[in-house]
Structure 1
Amino acid sequence: MDFYLKENGMRAELPYGEIDISGNEDYGYRPFQLMVASIAGCSASVFRKILEKQRTEIADLQVHAEVERNPEEANRIEKITLKYTVKGRQLDPEKLYKNMEIARKNCSMIRSVEGSITIEEHIDTVELS
């Protein structure tokens, strides 16, 4: 990846498109947002693949991330809580949590920050009729 200086931050040109990065939301994505998005996106993608392999059909999967930062240490990310909402039919919460554990072990982004950022996951299910 290559990054280029711009007036209020940096720009990266990636195969999918350009991304602007800045400490000011008016000029691009903030670095902490990209880190949280990487962790949530990786976790959700791996979780979804595992559900597909297990033949667990879902209608929708959403993730809400809550972030705790430490202003005493350069606003360091200390904890990310990922709250999953899984919509489907005949969902087994116990099986979903077991699959979440497998996903956690196979998510490169979570594995990369283990020991420095606490990651918690919670699953809510919405049963469709």
Structure 2
Amino acid sequence: MKFEMTKNGFVTETAFGELTISGNDEYGFRPYQLLVSSLAVCSGGVMRNILEKMRMPAENITIEVKEVNRNAEIANRVEKIHLHFIIEGPEINPSRMDKVLELTKKNCSMAQSVIGSIELVETYELKE
């Protein structure tokens, strides 16, 4: 990837179009938003695969970011992210969901990349 400076941030070209990043959310995605998005979507994709392998396919997974704690005293460092998964599917076995969450965190490359620096909380609810 290559990032080029613009008047209000940076821009890169991806296979899916231009991505604009800026410290000001009026001009593009903020860097912390991309960090949170990476963690959420990586975890969601891994969870989907795990549910399929466990023969409990999800019809839909919605991920809500319930909390992002940032430390203003240390460069607005991200210290905690709470991801809440809303999982829909008639074949989801509630008694196996703790294992699903454990495997999701273990196998998500983004979650593994922040271990020891960001507290990652993952919760879920099931909908039919």
Q: Give structure 1 stretches of 5+ with no counterpart.
A: none
Q: State the TM-score, normalized to the length of structure 1.
A: 0.93
Residue 19 of structure 2 corresponds to which residue in structure 1?
19
Name the CA distance, whole Å, in 2 between partners of 1:69 and 1:93: 32
**Would you say how many aligned residue pairs link Structure 1 and Structure 2?**
127
Shift of 1:13: 0.9
Q: Is this contact kept in 1: 2:56–2:93, CA < 8 A?
A: no
> Aligned residue for 1:118?
119
What RMSD in Å do the two structures reach over aligned CA positions? 1.1
Secondary structure at the aligned position of 2:55 is classed as: coil
**Distance of 2:84 and 2:111 partners within structure 1:** 15
8 Å contact from structure 1 (residues 9, 27) kept in 2: yes
Partner SS, residue 33 of structure 2: helix
Q: Which amino acid is 2:5 matched to?
A: L
**What is the rounded CA distance, in whole Å, between the counterparts of 1:63 and 1:93 in structure 2?**
18
Identity %: 44
With structure 2 as the length reference, what TM-score do the two structures score?
Answer: 0.94
Match of 1:43 in 2: 43
For the residue of structure 2 that corresponds to 1:73, the secondary structure is coil
Larger mean CA deviation between 12-21 and 110-119 belongs to 12-21
Query: Is contact 1:97-1:123 (8 Å) kept?
Result: no
| Counterpart residue number, 1:56 | 56
Question: Following TM superposition, by how much is the alpha carbon of 1:18 offset from its aligned partner in structure 2, in angstroms?
Answer: 1.1
Q: How does 1:1-129 map to 2 (within 5 A)?
A: 1-65=1-65, 66-126=67-127, 128=128
